[in-house]
């Protein structure tokens, strides 16, 4: 059983396109996150949602728009893709906000050409 | 932001050697948590451990052990009798800002050679 799943696993697209990444968790967690991992493996928080409400927006360009239709889903839409958006994007979830361990999805490798 | 520093960028060992990965953190909090994650070559992030600042006892899980030293703000991770399957990037992390956003260290790439 997959706890945190993301689709697609790989995404290759041209500059200027719009794309979405989907995330679902079946753990019953209240909080979900998006992280970006760059080519040097550095991991940085982008967004966090708690019970469908945005609680962290970490100075991410407004071309990135997360959407949480329900507690189990957190999608990431990216407009006007740029070369610098190439990275691995990880979705994660935790039981609640605070200090619970976060469980990560398998990642989506986005390549912008 | 309260940083997490993993000064070792890469470590290379031969199988069966013991290896320690260092993690130093900054904190202004009296209560805090620390985490370790493993990222194998397949790319997923695997949760290893969460420790809170109240518990300074060393933790052991099989070949893995963690040494938490508040006096030096360190939370080091030791793999005993390393195996090739331990080859991965290991991240130390801590929540920050009260909202459970994880601040990650830069990671240490461990290569275990046969």
Tens of pLDDT, residue by residue, chain B (114 residues): 689 999 999 999 999 999 999 999 998 888 889 999 999 999 999 999 999 888 878 888 899 999 999 899 999 999 999 999 999 999 999 988 666 688 999 999 999 999
What average pLDDT does range A49-77 have in this prediction? 91
- Closest residue, chain B, to A48 (C-alpha): B101
Q: Can you give the pLDDT at residue A1?
A: 66
- Chain-chain contact of A90 with B45 (C-beta, under 8 angstroms): yes
Chain centroid to CA B92: how far?
A: 4
Q: Which residues 6+ apart lie within 8 Å of B56 measured at CB?
A: B68, B69, B70
Q: Can you give the pLDDT at residue B112?
A: 98
Q: Can you give the pLDDT at residue B58?
A: 83
Kindly tell me if the per-residue pLDDT of A98 is higher than 80: no
**Structure tokens, A80:** 């006007």
- Report the alpha-carbon distance of residue B102 to residue B11 in Å, rounded: 24
**Structure tokens, B27:** 């904190």
Task: Provide the number of CB pairs (under 8 Å) joining chain A to chain B.
Answer: 63
Q: Can you give the pLDDT at residue B88?
A: 98
Interface list for chain B against chain A, based on CB atoms closer than 8 Å? 32-33, 35, 37, 39, 43-47, 50, 52, 89, 91, 93, 95, 97, 99-104, 106-107, 109
- Closest residue, chain B, to A101 (C-alpha): B50
- Chain-chain contact of B99 with A41 (C-beta, under 8 angstroms): no
Nearest to A107 by CA among A85, A87, A84, A89: A89
- What is chain A's mean pLDDT, rounded? 93
Query: B18 vs chain A: nearest CA distance in angstroms?
Result: 24
Tracing tokens 């194998």 back to the chain, one arrives at B40
Angle at A52 between CA A50 and CA A55, to 5 degrees: 45
Q: Hey, what long-range contacts does A37-40 have (CB within 8 A, 24 or more apart)?
A: A37/A87, A37/A88, A37/A89, A37/A90, A37/A107, A38/A87, A39/A86, A39/A87, A40/B106
Nearest to B90 by CA among B20, B16, B26: B20
């Amino acid at each position: 059983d997959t706890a945190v799943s993301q689709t697609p696993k790989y995404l290759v697209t041209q500059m200027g396109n719009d794309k979405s990444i989907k995330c679902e968790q079946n753990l019953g967690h209240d909080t979900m996150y998006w992280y970006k991992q760059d080519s040097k493996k550095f991991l940085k928080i982008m967004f966090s949602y708690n019970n469908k409400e945005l609680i962290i927006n970490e100075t991410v360009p407004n071309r990135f728009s997360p959407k949480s239709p329900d507690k189990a889903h957190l999608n990431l839409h990216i407009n006007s893709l740029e070369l610098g958006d190439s990275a691995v994007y990880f979705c994660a979830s935790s039981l609640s906000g605070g200090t619970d361990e976060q469980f990560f999805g398998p990642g989506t490798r986005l390549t912008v050409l | 932001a309260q940083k997490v520093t993993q000064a070792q960028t890469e470590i290379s060992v031969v199988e069966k050697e013991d290896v320690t990965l260092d993690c130093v953190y900054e904190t202004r909090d009296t209560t805090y948590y620390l985490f370790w994650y493993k990222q194998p070559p397949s790319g997923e992030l695997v949760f290893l451990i969460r420790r809170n600042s109240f518990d300074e006892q060393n933790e052991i899980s099989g070949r893995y052990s963690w040494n938490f030293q508040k006096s030096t703000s360190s939370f080091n991770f030791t793999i005993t009798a390393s195996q090739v399957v331990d080859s991965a990037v290991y991240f130390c992390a801590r929540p920050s800002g009260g909202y459970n956003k994880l601040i990650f260290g830069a990671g240490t790439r461990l290569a275990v050679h046969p």
